[in-house]
Each structure stands twice: as structure tokens, then as C-alpha cells.
Structure 1
Amino acid sequence: MHRLLRQTVSKRLTNYNLLRRSITSINRPLTKFSSATLPITPLHTLQTKRATLFKRFMTTYKETPFLQWKLFPDFQKLVNETSPAIAVPVFEKIIEAAKEQFIAIEKTFEPTWDGTIGKLTELENEVSKAYGILSHLNGVKNSDDVRATLEKIQPEFVKLGLMMNQSEPKFKALETLRNTPSAWSQLDAVQQRIIDQTLRGMKHAGIGFASGSAEKARFNQISERLSQLSLLFSNNVLDATKAFKHVVTDKSELTGCSETFLETLKKNGERLGEEGYCITLDYPIYGPFMMNCSNRELREKIYKANITKASEGGINNEPVINEILTLKAEKAKLLGYETPADLSLSVKMAQTLSAAETLLDGLLESSLPHAKQELKDLSKFAEERLNQTTPLQPWDIGYATEQYRKELFKYDEETISQYFAFPKVLQGLFDVANEVLGIQVRELTASEMSEKNITRWHDDVKVFEVAEQGKVKAYFYGDFYSRPSEKRSGAWMDVVTTRFKHQDGEVTLPVAYLICNQAEPQSDKQPSLMKFRDVETLFHEFGHCLQHMMTTVDYPDASGINGIEWDFVEVASQFMENFCSEPEWIDRLSGHYETGEPMPQDMVSALVKGREFMSGLATLRQIHFSKVDLSLHSQFKVPTQEGEPTVFDEDARISKQTILTPRLPEDRFLCSFSHIFGGGYSAGYYSYKWSETYSADAYAAFEEAKAKNGLQGVKSMGKHYRDTILALGGGTPPSNVWKQFRGRDYVDIQALLRHSGLTK
């Protein structure tokens, strides 16, 4: 049922691969080092002074904590240096230096690997890692200072990326290399793929526009504006979420909520300076409330607040959405594509709009009969056992579903969470990594972090070492608990560093961020108790981390998650969720947080069956999001006058075939649909279902290996998975990766339908 309520939470705040290869930002005119700012002196003197100044400048700007680190940024310093007064001048220097370096490199491009990509790797790595820190802090340590800095700096990074990707010398050198058989044949397959992707990326960045043309100027203007709008959309959602609070003083209004959750609501109120039980819209509060509170009138109020957030007043995202869609359509046309969806899909595994729609239509056909029966059963239960009138309203679904789950499986979510203490779950996750995939993970001690000069942005953050056969392969930061006042909702994996083999042979190890938003520990005696969906989310994001950390690719443009097609990058994450539905692993993950008693077997069975529970409705929900996304980016026309269909009308139109419950006219969910308007899933939300078919088929390979050779078969398949899906990263086309792993070209969609109970 959690799949019915939650948005899929795997999103990265920064498309790190695009940032690496296009370094999305900068083209400001030079000021400090242009000759016009220097006194009139003989040329050789001027050149000497310029060189001296630049050398001193280069040394100074590299000393900033945004750049002066190899694996672990000094967050203790960085948190205090994000105010615009400090950070903006620093980033201006970083950007100016990058421009100077690129202009110098541009004059020396040659049609070889070392003469093109090789010349830019260090520069791109430096700029992207600095920007990555600022973007990361915006997600986990959000403040007015961080926002102001990012809003000021982001357009400049966009200009830098456009300048680098619109470089004619770079494009000509790469194109010559691509079209010279003798030189091309000397490159390995990963290098060839990187060059092909770079050339395609440069075309999509506007290299085809004539220098000084109106088309180029307009394209650059659109690119800069879209980056601003994306940030504005996300900030509006965060502000709207933080702005809403409903305080209940009479406990009887919250009948159905457990004492544990009531205590959480009380502490939520204390945090916000309120006396009473405080309901907010961040998911650790909103989700459990909607599932457990029997007060139908109050559920309706909170539900309507959630679906209308960021849709009114000064933080209304409707005009932001319209401008985003208008500009994306214009940008696609400038690049020669019919629609933004065509542009988006041209760089994905699906390739075409029809391929994505065919998958969604097939899943719709398979899931719709199941969903209708599920809703019929749920409505009957709600009428007979909950005295609810039907048809059920949207604010009834979560509550009725949770009560129905309790009826069928005998356990409520709160009771189940008492067996999922975070430390136990985390150890179980690491056991899966070790025993199935041969990957060892351990938390660094305080003394080890001190020895490595590792600091954190919050005291709750943990740092982990990842090894294979005794050799350290990577590290990652874990920030697991919700902090609504400064941390964005949802969960995501992002990049600190990527694997990179330098020219001197030294290898930079990959480091990742793993960010979740589960409930924090209630006391020293009570650890964070995880809802089952939190457990799945943790496994999901760790899957992303594994793919980034266990790569064997040495080129940063294709190392880890970099360079992987967007609709294949979710395979490794969704694959890991499958272990949460295996009885033997549930036993390993669980244990009562107070007594240590194992989870009752009937509770384990309930969780296993839970994967199929309401899976038809859950699938319809994801199909709805995907179809709306594709429609808005392919056939929808932004209204230009009163009375024309709005984005909400389009959402409602599609809901007639995908949503079985009544649709509210005031539904403005799109105003908080950050995946497609504030994240990277524009015309790509279908990727979740596309990837899920592959991840289910990948897990089926483990089921087959276990049936044939037991645990030894699982370990053998784990190594094979490790050496293909995880190791090859973005260096190999996903179709080739899949063929190497599964031994066939096609994906068997029946595995997903079987796992979801949609074949019965």
C-alpha cells in the first residue's frame, strides 16, 4: 500500500553526468584579466604581469574549501562559507579560472583522445565537484544563504557549460577523430562511446548554431532560464511544505493514530514552536497520518492541502510549469526535434516516444483488471467494516488500504516498524551486499574519520568504507533522518567524486551521498524505527550507490552512474528492493527493537505477500504519472488565453483511463511534481517502469540460479551481476550490458508481472 501513497523517491538533485560533460554554466565576459582593465604598457610587460597575476589568482582560488579536497570535502568549513558574501566571489573566481583554462586549451585541441577529452578531464572534474557541493548543501542544509548563492551562481555555470559545449575547435577535433578510421580504431570501446555521447551532447547544447546568430543567442537564453526555473520550482515546493501546519489540541480528533505517532506529532509541534499535535506535509508525518487517522474530515483537509501546495500566492508553480513547458518546446524545435519528449528520448534506452508508450500501455492492460478488482474489494471492506460511504474519496484510499492490510495480514505499519530498528536493517543491508555480491561495507569510527580529516554537515551523518576482498573501493556518506526545516523530502543518491584514473596512474576512488528521510530516533533508548517502505527505500538508494562505487571504468565521463541512459539507471536500485521481500532476508533485517525477539513468521509472510497487495492500483498510479509526463512534453499546448485547457485539465483527462477513484477539480499535484519540473525526469518518468522490467528480470536470474545451485548459485550470479550491471557503468551501451548479464537481447516483462502478482 505504501506504493499507492508515496512518490517514487529516487532522484538525484544534480544530473552529475551532464554537469561533468557540459558543466552546465558560464560565459561571462572577462573583467579582471582582460587587457582593457590594465594600464597601457609594453606588450611583453603586460604579458608578464598578466601571467604573474593569473598564477597568483589560480593559487588563491584553489585554496577555497570548495576545491581543496580529494575525497572528502571539509563540510565543517563549507557550512559556514555558503553565504553569498563569501561563496559568490569564490565561485566567480572558479568560473573565471575555468574559462581562462578552457580558452587556453581550446587553442591546442587535436583529433586524438589525449588531445580532446584528455585535456579537459581535470578541468571538468574540478568545476563539477565544486558545484556539486553547493547543490548538495542546497538539498541537505537548505538555508537562505545557500539558496541565494545557488540562485546567483547557477546561471553562470550554465553559461560555462554552453561555452564549452559550443566550442567549434573542440567539436571539429572530436568529429575529425570520429571520422578518421585509423585513429578511431585505436580507441577502446568505452572511449568511442564517450566521444559519441560528447558529440551528441554538444549538438544538443547548440554547437550547430552559427556564431553570433539569433538562434544561438535565444538557445543560450532558454538554457539559462530553464536552470533558474527548475531551482525556483523546487524552492517553491520546499517553502510550501514548510509553510503548512495544522495543530490539533484535542487528542480525540486523532483517533486511530498510535501513541508512538502521537508522540511524533507532539515533537513536531515543539520543533515548530506549537503546543499540541502538529500535522505537516513532509512525508514522515503526512504518510502515517493519512493511513491511520480515522477522522475523515481532518484527512480531507490535510489531503487537499497536500494536492494544492505550491499552487497559490507568491509560490504558485503553475506559471513556472507553463514557462518551463513553453521554453522546452522552443528549445526542442531549435535543435530540430518535434517535441521535448523526442529530444529527451533520443538519449535514452527507449529511443522513441512510441517505445515508452508501448510499455506503459502493455502494463496498463495487464494491471487494470487487477486494479478494478482491488478497488472493488477495498470499497466493500470500507463499507462493511469502516462504515465509509462509497465511492471512496482520494483521502479515504490510504486509510482504507491500511485498515484492509491490517485485516488481511493482522499487523499495522506501526507494529511492523518496531521490528525494523535502523541499526539492524542497515547491518542486514550490508550482509546482502557481502553474501550475495561479495562487497564489504563498514562504518568508519570517529578516530578513523579524524585521521582522514572527514567532517560532516550534521552530527547524524555517518561515513562508510566499501571494500572487495580486502581492497578499499569507495566510500559513502549516509544521511538517513528527516530534518524538515533544512532538508528536502524524498530520498536520493548523489555523487561526491567519481572513479578517475589520472595520467600518472593514481586512481581517485568514488565517493557517494546516500540521503533518506526516515523518522529520527525518538530517544537514546529508541532508535529510528523504519516503516517497511523506508526499508525498501534504503535498499533502493544503496543500489544506486553500489553502481557508482563498484565501477571498473577509469574514465569519469562513463564511470559509475555517469553516462548510463536515464531509463536504465534505475535497474541497479530497483533490483536491490527485491531482497526486502525474501523471507530469509526479512529475518536477518528484523528484530524487536526492545527485546531483540525475531519477527513473527506470520508478520514475515504478511510482508512477503505485501509486494502483491494492491499492486494493480500502485501500478496504475505510476503509469498515470508517466503518461502525464510524456503527454505534457509531447502533445500538450500551453494555454495562451482564458478558457484553453490547462496542465491540470490534461492531468484530469489522462486520469480518466488511469485513476479509478474520483478526481478533485482542485487537484494541483503537478505544482509539486518535482521529478519532472525540478529534477531530471522530464519526459523520463516512464524510466521507473522501464527499468523495473529489467530489474525484475535481473532478480529472476538470481531466482533461477538459486533453484539450480542453491546459495552457491546465488553467489556465482552475484559476481556475474557485480561484473556486468555494476562494473560496466556508462561505458557500455545498456543493451550490451543486458546481453552480457542475461545472455539475451530482450527483457522478459513476465518477471515483473509475476513479482507483482499481476499474472494471476
Structure 2
Amino acid sequence: MTGTGSATAPDPDRRPATSNPFFSASELPYGLPPFARIRHEHFRPAFERGIAEQLAEVAAVGADSEPPTFENTVAALELSGAVLRRVSAVFFNKANADTDEATQELEAEIVPRLAAHEDAVLLDPALFARLETLYEARAELGLDGEQLRLLERHHAARVRAGARLVPEQQRRLRELNAEIATLCTDFRRNLRADTAAAALVVDHAEELAGLPDDEIATAAENARALGHDGRFALSLLNFTNQPQLAALEDPALRERLLTASMGRGGATNGSVAIAVARLRAERAALLGHSSHASWQVADQTAGTTDAVAEMFGKLIGPALVHAEREGAALAEAAGVAEVGAADWQFYAERVRRQRFDLDAAALRPYLELEAVLRDGVFHAATLVYGITFAERPDLVAYHPDARVFEVHNADGSPLGLYVGDFHARESKRGGAWMNELVTQSHLLGQRPVVVNNLNIAKPAAGEPVLLNWSEVTTLFHEFGHALHGLFSDVRYPLLAGTEVPRDFVEFPSQVNEMWAEWPEVLARYARHHRTGEPMPPELPSRLREAERFGEGFDSVEHLAAAVLDWTWHTVPADELPTADGVEAFEAAALARHGLAHPAIPPRYRTGYFAHVFGGGYAAGYYGYRWAEVLDADTVRWFRENGRTVRESGEIFRRELLSRGNSIDPMAAFRAVLGRDPDFGPLLARRGAGPAE
């Protein structure tokens, strides 16, 4: 429309480049990204500008005519890349939590470019020369502890990345990194498609006998969303054993469900995994390591592959013994010689009912999502750390399902924002995770904005969201990661929050699971969603007893997955299988470690092991068990140290959660417990020692 006295509203996607919301810091509270303004068209220009700006900033640091100092080199490096930080945080959150075809296409394009950009920053020779000068003189620079840690981490990152290699070796290293990044993106994309296609669709509600009525209604709603009106669909979660296996009465349907789960990615991702493992092995050799695992673990708290092997040796035998005891109990309950993989969870649930008079389905009416969140997760955080939460419906998140909460310290001072995105949808990848939209940093003047994503099925409109116990535990677990980000109190973004070694990062989140069954917390949230009646007083103790029945299975399936990951990343490249030999490779790896249990498949198989072939856990999945050693020891400390919960929480926050990677994480652990970790509490938890 044209004419005097009138104007046409500008098309938001055709505004001048200066209107790109990533080009300047957000003016919203806590720097929350302005999601209401962000369009897909903003991402590519922001990535391009962000990459170009940081390269120019790094070049300027390297070309500085002044002698290197901490401020003009290390701190200047921390200040670089503002636009790239902003766009990356939002884009990769979207790629995981609310993807679409355009996002996936851009992800496939941008990931290898970012890998090349990271190499350009890490391998810049002029910058590395300045860092090397500072590193060699670090004892005379008068740095405080956090500054020294930052200098050491920047220097170590570049040495590990190949800064000391000759140019020809660096050229090959850059090629390898780009190829690996591309293949990992392909793996994730294949898995999303395979998982969606593998949803188990049935024609009649009667086929789902054993599932609670609300889950059947949710399956009907899920089928409708997937284009199967009038039918029922069970979409797959990202791990092997689907929760419905514990309830479905039809053994043939249980078999179909497990087969669908274990078959994902076999045809599409086997060759991708082999290629990734081969390239990682070549890269490790280029960097002077015998394997990718050796290169990876050198920068973790474990330190050496021998330490990881020792951990496997301590845990596998007791786990198998415990699992065999459980399997014998299941076979007795089933009246058979042995129970198969598809039936294990079904008969485990029967045994729990018989031994502990506990029906898992009977718990669900007492575990309504909103109550678990506010009266469980949030209340526990208030009880332990004094922080409080207020929902901010005025702040817009990236999806209508995502809710924003403002978090305050006990004294009322602002802490940060928590975004909760709890429901499954077709545009979200499987699993549960935490990430940061804004990283805490005093240098950048930023308070944290953290996100938790879960995949809880959304019921029909107006129906309550009832959880199973595993989902409750998962929510507490992921919130432990959120607390790690929220409590960060460091100057430099590289050292903030969850930027700790991979085999340490799961430790605080696993500790936070303890509050799910803490009596004062459980009594507050575990109330019937209709009547408000508390969970019957005998159920919590039965629940704890029943939870211990299953520790053997849980340990074996986790250790089996960790062993698969470890084997892929320790064998020489010439011993890796061909595409048609992946199953045999897996079987041999499990057998070699004594974990080829016919009724307990690994928690992840190669084709859907996104942690390893699509994420950052390569040669690091052992970290869940490694961190559990620290977790079990710390849980015992909380229970037995003689202080109040609030006093203990303050110590844990001050000495560990707030420190990020600004000190050696194991030094932070020792600052809390006063000693090195003890394996005893974990072995007791897993049924291989005296009770905690």
C-alpha cells in the first residue's frame, strides 16, 4: 500500500541487517534471547558475522605489537565472539528442541563450518605463540587462581587441538575435524528420522492391555499427531528398554516394541559410526595418542585409560552377580527357566508387586508434573540452597511448551532464569538434557539462563500429566545440571558452570536425584492429583526397596553401553568392522568384558548411540559410572556429616557448584568431603557391599 499519510509495516524478514536480533546484546531480563523477534532468516547472517568478527578479534590479539599480558591476550580472547555465542546458543537449542527441515538443512551446512572455525581459533599460530609465552612464564605473572586456571585451560586446549603440529599435519587435522562434524550431524539426522519411523502403531486399544488408561489416551493422541487417526502409537524414547515393556501384557507386542527400539539406525548409522570411529582414530594418532580414548581421557578427571579399565574391573563383576540374582527371581515369578530381554521389565514389575507390594502404575496418580516440579524439584532447591522460583509468563521462550522461571537467592538477590520444556513433540529429539542460553560470567556481565528439556508425553487436553518414577528421577537429574549452571560464580565464560570434564559433569546432577526420595520433599509433592491425599506412608519405603531390585539390570545395561563406546574408541582403525559386521563387533566387545548377557541388552546400541556418534560423549560414556562413584560418596556425606541439609547445601554450592572449572574439579570434590572418593558407597548402592 502506498500513498500520502500511510505506511506499510516492514516485513520482519526483510528488515535491514542491523535489525538482526543476534547482532546486539538482548535487552530482556538476564539477556534472555528475544525469541519473539527471531526468525530462521536471522541465523545464517548471524553465523557469518559471528565467525568473521571472532576471526578478526583473534587476529588482532595475535598481531598486537605490545608484549603479551593476561589482559591483552587471555582476557581479550574471552571477550571475543559475542555474536557467535548468542546465535550458537539459540540455534543449537532449536536444532535439538524444536527442529524443522530448514533448521536441519542449516545445521548440516553450519556444523562443519563451525568445526573449521574452531580449528582456526585454536590453531592460530600468532595467538598460540603469545599464549605459550605467558604459559612458560605463568609462575612470575602474579595471576590469581582463576586467571592461572584460565591460562592453563586455553593453552592445554590448543596443545590438545594440534597447535604444535607442523602445517601439513594441521591441514589434515582440519580435514578430519570437518569430516567428523559432518558425519555426526548425519548420524543425528538419520536417528531422528529412524526413531520417528519406528513408532509402534496398533489398531485397537485392547492390544495395549496393561497400560494405564491415561497412557492409552496419550497413545491415541500421539497417533493422531503422527497422522494415524483412530489408532494408537507408542513413540520410542532414545534408549533401548522402553518404559511400556513393564506393563504391556501381550508378549508378542513387547517383543515387537523391543525389536523396533533395538533396530533403529542399524541400516543408516552403522556405516556412519564406523567412519567416525576411523577418523577419530586417525586424529588421535596424529596428536600422538594410541587411540581416541587415550586422547579424550587425558583431559578428564580419570586421566588415563588404565584408570577407566580399573573402574570397569571393579564394577562389572558385582553388577553381573547382582543381575543374575534378579534374573533368577524373575524366572521363578514367570515359571520359566530364564526370562528373555523383552520380558525382563514385565516380570520385574511383577516381582516388585509380590515382594514389596508395590504397583508402579499405582504411583502415577501421586506424581503429577506440576506438583513434582513446584513442590518437589523447586522445593528441594529451596530446602537445600535457599533459592526461590517465580514463573514469568511475560517472558517469551522459544516454544509455547517452554516456560520461564526467575530464580532468586535466599537474600532476594537475582540469580538467573530457568526454562523448563518438559513435553515430547515431533520436533524435539529424544532424551533429556540441559543447556545454556546465556552463560554466567562476571567479565561479560552475564547472569545464567539455563534450559531443561525432557520428553514427557503430552496427554489429551484437560488431562493431568502423570509421571512414572523414572520420569520423576530424570526431572531431578536434569535440574541438577541446571543448578550447576545457575550457581556458577566465575569471571570467565570458558570456566563457567558445566564447562567441566565430561566424566565430572554428571556428578552434580546425579547427586540431585537424592532429593526425589528425601522424606520431607517426597511428602510434599507425592499427593494424589485429584484428592490431594498424600501418598500412603508405607509406599516411600517400599519404593526405595523396590528401586534396589533392578540395580543389577541397570548397572549391566549402562556398563554394556559404556563398554561399546570404549571399544569403538580403543581398537586400532584396522580392526574396526565393515558395515555388515557391526553386530558381530558389538557382540565380541560385550563378550570380552563378560557383559554379553542375553536378557540385558546395552542401554544404547551403535545405531542409536547419539551420545557417542552424534554428541560429545565419545570415549566418555564411562563418565556416568565414574561420576556415580563421586555421587554415591557425596550422598552419604549429605546424610552423615552431622550438619543440617541447609548447611551442607551451602558448602556444596560454595565449594563445588559455584566453581565451575575455575579450579580442578577433583580439588572441589575434596574441598567438600575432605578426602579422595571412596568406591564403597557405590558398590553398596549397586548391591555389592554393605548398605549405605
The residue matched to 1:658 in structure 2 has which SS?
A: coil
What is aligned with 2:7? Answer: none
Give the letter for the 1:553 counterpart: V
How do residues 15-26 of structure 1 correspond to structure 2 at under 5 angstroms?
none
For normalisation by structure 1, the TM-score amounts to 0.84
Distance 1:730 1:62, change over 3 A: farther
Give the letter for the 1:508 counterpart: Q
What is aligned with 1:553? Answer: 490
The residue matched to 2:68 in structure 1 has which SS?
A: coil
How do residues 42-81 of structure 1 correspond to structure 2 at under 5 angstroms?
63-70=19-26, 71-78=31-38, 81=39
What is aligned with 1:698? Answer: 634
Q: Does residue 33 of structure 2 align to residue 82 of structure 1?
A: no
What is aligned with 1:406? Answer: 353
Give the Cα–Cα distance (whole angstroms) in 2 for the partners of residues 518 and 328 of structure 1. Answer: 35
Match of 2:99 among 130, 142, 148: 142
Render the CA deviation track for 1:577-624: whole Å, top value 9, x for unaligned: 112233332212210011111001222222222331121121111111
Render the CA deviation track for 1:228-269: whole Å, top value 9, x for unaligned: 111111111110011123432233332222222211111111
What is aligned with 2:401? Answer: 460
Give the Cα–Cα distance (whole angstroms) in 2 for the partners of residues 470 and 413 of structure 1. Answer: 39
What is aligned with 1:395? Answer: 342
Render the CA deviation track for 1:305-355: whole Å, top value 9, x for unaligned: 11111222xxx1011001000000000011111110000001100010110
Give the letter for the 2:671 counterpart: Q
Larger displacement relative to structure 2 (735-744 or 409-418): 409-418
8 Å contact kept, 1:500–1:559: yes
8 Å contact kept, 1:652–1:663: no
8 Å contact kept, 1:95–1:160: yes
Give the Cα–Cα distance (whole angstroms) in 1 for the partners of residues 137 and 16 of structure 2. Answer: 42
Alignment gaps of 5+ in structure 2: 1-14
Give the Cα–Cα distance (whole angstroms) in 1 for the partners of residues 18 and 116 of structure 2. Answer: 21
What is aligned with 1:20? Answer: none
1:62 deviates by 5.9
Distance 1:401 1:457, change over 3 A: same
1:415 deviates by 2.0
Distance 1:691 1:181, change over 3 A: closer
Match of 1:297 among 247, 252, 256: 252
Distance 1:177 1:661, change over 3 A: same
Distance 1:567 1:303, change over 3 A: same
What is aligned with 1:173? Answer: 130
Give the letter for the 2:191 counterpart: V
Alignment gaps of 5+ in structure 1: 1-58, 384-388
Match of 2:178 among 224, 228, 234: 224
1:636 deviates by 5.2
Give the Cα–Cα distance (whole angstroms) in 2 for the partners of residues 224 and 285 of structure 1. Answer: 30
Render the CA deviation track for 1:529-562: whole Å, top value 9, x for unaligned: 1111111111111111111111221111112112
Give the letter for the 1:499 counterpart: Q
Q: Does residue 614 of structure 2 align to residue 678 of structure 1?
A: yes
Render the CA deviation track for 1:391-422: whole Å, top value 9, x for unaligned: 32211112222222233333333221110111
For normalisation by structure 2, the TM-score amounts to 0.92
How do residues 311-350 of structure 1 correspond to structure 2 at under 5 angstroms?
311-312=266-267, 316-350=268-302
8 Å contact kept, 1:307–1:667: no
8 Å contact kept, 1:61–1:94: no
Give the letter for the 2:253 counterpart: L
Match of 2:456 among 518, 525, 531: 518
Distance 1:308 1:551, change over 3 A: same
Give the Cα–Cα distance (whole angstroms) in 1 for the partners of residues 603 and 440 of structure 2. Answer: 44
8 Å contact kept, 2:239–2:603: no
Larger displacement relative to structure 2 (96-105 or 671-680): 96-105
Give the Cα–Cα distance (whole angstroms) in 1 for the partners of residues 531 and 289 of structure 2. Answer: 61
1:278 deviates by 2.0
Give the Cα–Cα distance (whole angstroms) in 2 for the partners of residues 536 and 459 of structure 1. Answer: 24
How do residues 90-129 of structure 1 correspond to structure 2 at under 5 angstroms?
90-108=46-64, 110-129=67-86
Give the Cα–Cα distance (whole angstroms) in 2 for the partners of residues 306 and 636 of structure 1. Answer: 29
Distance 1:61 1:106, change over 3 A: farther
Give the Cα–Cα distance (whole angstroms) in 2 for the partners of residues 720 and 271 of structure 1. Answer: 47
What is aligned with 2:327? Answer: 375
Match of 2:547 among 611, 615, 618: 611
What is aligned with 2:11? Answer: none
Give the Cα–Cα distance (whole angstroms) in 1 for the partners of residues 617 and 429 of structure 2. Answer: 17
Match of 2:565 among 617, 622, 629: 629
What is aligned with 2:678? Answer: 748
Give the Cα–Cα distance (whole angstroms) in 1 for the partners of residues 486 and 542 of structure 2. Answer: 34
Larger displacement relative to structure 2 (544-553 or 278-287): 278-287
Render the CA deviation track for 1:629-656: whole Å, top value 9, x for unaligned: 11211125456787x9934223212333
How do residues 585-600 of structure 1 correspond to structure 2 at under 5 angstroms?
585-600=521-536
The residue matched to 1:685 in structure 2 has which SS?
A: coil
1:370 deviates by 1.6
Render the CA deviation track for 1:478-522: whole Å, top value 9, x for unaligned: 101111x100110000011112223xxx72111111111112243
Match of 1:481 among 416, 423, 426: 423
Q: Does residue 195 of structure 2 align to residue 241 of structure 1?
A: yes
Give the Cα–Cα distance (whole angstroms) in 2 for the partners of residues 663 and 738 of structure 1. Answer: 33
What is aligned with 1:509? Answer: 447
Give the Cα–Cα distance (whole angstroms) in 2 for the partners of residues 667 and 373 of structure 1. Answer: 20
Render the CA deviation track for 1:359-407: whole Å, top value 9, x for unaligned: 1210123222221111111111112xxxxx4432211112222222233
Distance 1:140 1:605, change over 3 A: same
The residue matched to 1:119 in structure 2 has which SS?
A: helix
8 Å contact kept, 1:311–1:668: no
Give the Cα–Cα distance (whole angstroms) in 1 for the partners of residues 243 and 343 of structure 2. Answer: 13
The residue matched to 1:569 in structure 2 has which SS?
A: helix
1:112 deviates by 1.3
Distance 1:138 1:738, change over 3 A: same
Larger displacement relative to structure 2 (680-689 or 606-615): 606-615
8 Å contact kept, 1:151–1:228: yes
What is aligned with 2:4? Answer: none
1:106 deviates by 2.4
Give the letter for the 2:389 counterpart: V
Distance 1:76 1:286, change over 3 A: farther
Larger displacement relative to structure 2 (217-226 or 526-535): 526-535
Match of 1:420 among 353, 367, 376: 367
8 Å contact kept, 1:464–1:477: yes
8 Å contact kept, 1:519–1:529: no
8 Å contact kept, 1:66–1:133: no
Distance 1:591 1:636, change over 3 A: farther
Give the Cα–Cα distance (whole angstroms) in 1 for the partners of residues 329 and 645 of structure 2. Answer: 38
Give the letter for the 1:222 counterpart: L
1:226 deviates by 0.7
Render the CA deviation track for 1:67-120: whole Å, top value 9, x for unaligned: 434311122232xx225xx53344223322332333233211742111112112
1:183 deviates by 4.0
8 Å contact kept, 1:420–1:593: yes
The residue matched to 1:126 in structure 2 has which SS?
A: helix
What is aligned with 2:10? Answer: none
The residue matched to 2:503 in structure 1 has which SS?
A: coil
1:125 deviates by 3.9
Q: Does residue 214 of structure 2 align to residue 264 of structure 1?
A: no
Larger displacement relative to structure 2 (474-483 or 274-283): 274-283
How do residues 283-294 of structure 1 correspond to structure 2 at under 5 angstroms?
287-294=242-249
Give the Cα–Cα distance (whole angstroms) in 1 for the partners of residues 657 and 211 of structure 2. Answer: 42
Larger displacement relative to structure 2 (591-600 or 580-589): 580-589
1:722 deviates by 1.1
Give the Cα–Cα distance (whole angstroms) in 2 for the partners of residues 479 and 285 of structure 1. Answer: 23
How do residues 555-570 of structure 1 correspond to structure 2 at under 5 angstroms?
555-562=492-499, 564-570=500-506
